[in-house]
Amino acid sequence: MPNATAMRKSFPAGMRAAVDFRLYLITDRRLASGGDLLSAVARALSGGVRAVQLREKDLGGRELLELARKMRDLTSRHGAKLLINDRVDIALAAGADGVHLGESSIPPQEARRLLGPGKLIGCSTHGAEQLAAAEAGGADFAVFGPVYFTPSKAAYGPPLGVEALRRACASSRIPVFALGGIGSRNINEVVAAGADGIAMISAVLAAEDPETAASEINRSVNNAISRHREGQEELS
């Protein structure tokens, strides 16, 4: 009999058709290698990143739109998806692939009404209730965390832990990306807990060589998922 995680993967294919990436890169221009966000993202895309969340919350509308359009050109050249943090208007104006919503954003069902059915909607979640609400609201995927301690999330409280991730993944019918303190030492652990991929900021953007960092992390995630699926098939 399949375990809970294996059963979760059996949801209708249409629900996950657009979520074709395993490494979700979240931007922070203050951490970008060499101080150049576009250059760092370009190198990460060359390393295999296929989804980028533009998350520059302190920028005004015009400046954010200008950056979003440049990022759209960049991601398009690499066949990668671009999601804009929170701003549905910027996503539409820049021709992005969708939006990523936080706790204080509009509900995913409202974002869907504005964006239409062909766009991606991701949601940040920090517990089972938020994950269930994101799923019920029509989100295509969720980011769950922080799983481990990370300085950037320390102000929001203690890490949620792997067991919380495991429970969340077991109950979710949308892909779940683990976030927070994840690196080569624990990728296998979060994938074994049921994560469909990982979300990262500094491990890629702040790396001396974002291309190599992205390539190595992407390979590690895909290998971990392949091994985990093989293990599930043997148990089923």
Catalytic machinery residues: 55, 124, 153
What whole-number distance in Å separates Cα of residue 105 and Cα of residue 16? 22
141-144/176-179 β-pairing: parallel
What whole-number distance in Å separates Cα of residue 180 and Cα of residue 30? 18
* Residue type, position 184, single letter: S
If DSSP codes are grouped into helix, strand and coil, which group holds residue 182?
coil
Q: Say if CB 178 and CB 198 are below 8 A apart.
A: yes
Q: Say if CB 138 and CB 112 are below 8 A apart.
A: yes
* Residue type, position 172, single letter: S
What whole-number distance in Å separates Cα of residue 69 and Cα of residue 84? 11
Name every residue whose Cβ is closer than 8 Å to that of residue 170 and which is 6 or more positions away in sequence. Answer: 4, 5, 8, 194
If DSSP codes are grouped into helix, strand and coil, which group holds residue 75?
helix
What whole-number distance in Å separates Cα of residue 55 and Cα of residue 58? 9
